Amino acid sequence: MPLFGRKKSDDPAPLDRTREPLPPPPEPGPSGLRTLDDHRDYLLSCLEPLPAFSQHVLDALGLSLCEDVYAPISMPRFDNSAMDGYAVRAVDVEAAGDESPVSLPVVGEVAAGQDALHRLSPGTAIKIMTGAPLPAGADAVVPYEATDRGSSDVRVYAPSTAGQHVRYVGEDVEAGTHLFSVGQQLGPRDIGLLAGIGHDQVLVRPRPRVAVVSTGTELVEPGLELGNDHQIYDSNSYLLAAAARQAGAHVFRVGLVSDDPEQVKQLITDQLVRADLVVSTGGVSQGDYDVVKAVMPELGATDFTQVAMQPGKPQGFGLVGDDRTPMIMLPGNPVSAFVSFEAFVRPAIRRLMGVTPYTRPTVRARVTHPVSSAPGRRQLARGIVTVDEDGTRLVELAGGHGSHLMADLARANALVVLPEDVTAVEAGEDVDVWLLDEVA
């Protein structure tokens, strides 16, 4: 896998591609702010899935296939035995029983991987192992358990029928069968099937390389001493790096940078060579020190906007540097950053990977207590989903609306999604939720 330059095109680049504008952004929604769906769709429309490349099949786990795959061989490739036992003609043992065993001379033996040298003559048996090719002339296998396991002669204690314990050529897969389609995300059983038809390489989209940066002069690296009374530890870059990794990305946690404009520009520029996507947090709001918003327009085409969602209103996006690397600039409050990740970054990672659906599936859950929501905003509230005895999903909110409540965020296992026009939900009503963890 080439570390650098994966997205470089063969076309000579214009001299300064950083000056190319973004596509026109969507109009504001009814609240005067951009809707969450519009903003997400806009971001996704500015991203292309990463170019496909050939990958060892085992490394393709979780990746999106970029080719249709047809079976080059039949499976089984040849009629073979499903059991360890004796290949026979069913008619020769049709009278066999516990009290009236049929005795047959054993005229040969065939193991898995061997060619069957012998043709079975009527009235004889050939010892056969599981997976070994069925000798010509045989039409059934008598398993060891129904015999005395004899070597020169075998006694058969049970009748057989034609086809018994025989696996016929192509009954699993016929040569030429269409097995996999473009866009399928490969799981372990797919990997097994691909290997089974002899594929050691498949064309897939790679894991996006995502660089994660926290900005803020107040931030200190975990593990170090807090230097003054008003410093705090950087949690966002850890939170987002872990979430991006879980979403399938290859993550570089770049860590933190102060609010110094030159340092921010240098650090982002340094990442562009190895990143398919840059994610930053902080510095995109209305504050006087919102450095990301201030400096990123110098590095590329950017779009800073306010999205009708809670939390997560201030959002930034850009195509930066000569390669127009996408950069998603999230707000700095940890809860806002995480919710924005779910709303925008996770779909972006999946689009780069070519994995659909881009968004988390919405499921329904019953709220256990009344919930209120700001009018005109899509509310994404932290929730704890449980399943009751009847299999009904219940959800209670975890903590308040504060965007700084990290312990509640860790405790939550879902986001409750309340539409813009909803201001109150009564206990017992059903709401949409995104499940963040596996909930039985």
Q: Which of residues 387-406 bind its own copies (CB under 8 A)?
A: 391, 402-406
Query: What pairing do the DSSP bridges indicate for beta strands 424-425 and 219-220?
Result: unpaired
Binding segment toward its own copies, per CB under 8 A, in 20-28, 152-160, 186-194, 315-323: 186-194
Q: CA quadruple 281, 286, 292, 293: dihedral positive or negative?
A: positive
Residue in the block written with tokens 């005067």: 32
Give every CB contact of residue 440 below 8 A, 6+ residues apart in sequence.
387
By CB under 8 A, tell whether 32 contacts its own copies: no
Secondary structure (3-state) at 133: strand
By CB under 8 A, tell whether 179 contacts its own copies: yes
The rounded distance, in Å, linking the Cα atoms of 238 and 255 is 8
| Strand ordering across the sheet containing 85-88 | 140-143, 85-88, 125-128, 102-110, 153-156
Give the count of alpha carbons within 13 A of 106, CB side only: 18
Site string for its own copies, 214-243 (x = CB under 8 A): --xxxxxxxxx-x-xxxxxxxxxxxxxxxx
Q: How far is the CB of 4 from its own copies (least distance, A)?
A: 23
The 3-class secondary structure across 209-231, one letter per residue, is: EEEEEEECCCEECCCCCCCCCCC
Within a 10 A sphere around the Cβ of 412, how many other Cβ atoms? 24
Nearer to its own copies, 221 or 298 (CB): 221
Q: Which of the residues 105 through 144 are near its own copies (CB under 8 A)?
A: 109, 111-116, 127, 129-133, 144
By CB under 8 A, tell whether 19 contacts its own copies: no
Q: How far is the CB of 247 from its own copies (least distance, A)?
A: 9
Q: Residue from 136, 162, 410, 427 that binds its own copies (CB under 8 A)?
A: 410
Site string for its own copies, 335-364 (x = CB under 8 A): ---x----------------------x-xx
By CB under 8 A, tell whether 408 contacts its own copies: yes
Q: Residue from 245, 265, 274, 366 that binds its own copies (CB under 8 A)?
A: 245
Q: Which of the residues 151 through 170 are near its own copies (CB under 8 A)?
A: 167
Binding segment toward its own copies, per CB under 8 A, in 43-51, 72-80, 154-162, 295-303: 72-80
Give every CB contact of residue 15 below 8 A, 6+ residues apart in sequence.
none
Q: Which of the residues 252 through 271 are near its own copies (CB under 8 A)?
A: 253, 259
Q: Residue from 5, 12, 99, 440 that binds its own copies (CB under 8 A)?
A: 440
Contact, 157 vs 97, CB < 8 A? yes
ω before 357 within 30° of 0 (cis)?
yes
Binding segment toward its own copies, per CB under 8 A, in 38-46, 94-102, 286-294, 418-426: 286-294
